Amino acid sequence: MQDVLVMTYLWLKAGHIIFMVFWLAGLFMLPRQMIYLHPAAPESEESALWTKRMGLLRKVILTPSIIVVWILGLLLAQTLQVWGEGWLHAKLLLVVLLSGFHGLMVAQSKKMAAGERPLSEKQLRMFGEIPGILLALIVIMVVVRPF
């Protein structure tokens, strides 16, 4: 029975890491695609192309990945019974912030697809750094477990 639990844990962990990589790749790509869309005139062919690409990124990578990451992460926490650990609380807070960033970028990309330009290119470049910072902090929480 112990072997089954160990194998289940390892498959959950592998899946969580794989889909976390997909999710973060999408979060790195979306602001970059928004930067490329920014100078395009609404209703232009270029705008339509970037709008299509952003929609596919959201539909094929971002949405499925965030769902799988959350499900597998919660299953891992349950499997390990680490609900009372401080590092997990900090990690969950950071993942909630990352999820909020995801929602913000999706909303902004939809506004841009509709022809609006609510953020400047400079702001988009700065927003593009946020996933990397949060990723580094999340990895530290999981690997180092500072508290």
pLDDT of 47 above 70: yes
pLDDT at site 1: 62
- Tokens 């609900």 -> residue: 83
Please indicate if the annotation marks 52 as binding a ligand: no
Closest CA to 47 of 59, 36, 31: 36
pLDDT bin (cut points 50, 70, 90) of residue 142 is very high
**Residue ranges of the domains in the chain?**
2-143
pLDDT (mean) for 83-109: 98
Helix, strand, coil proportions of the chain in percent (round to 5)?
80, 0, 20
Rounded CA-CA distance 27/94 in Å is: 15
% of the chain at pLDDT higher than 90: 95
pLDDT of 12 above 90: yes
Sign of the Cα torsion 74, 76, 78, 83 reads negative
Sign of the Cα torsion 111, 114, 118, 123 reads positive
Please indicate if the annotation marks 91 as binding a ligand: yes
Burial of 147 (0-12, 13-18, 19+ CB in 10 A): exposed
pLDDT at site 4: 80
What would the two tokens of residue 65 be? Answer: 């990945």
pLDDT (mean) for 110-127: 96
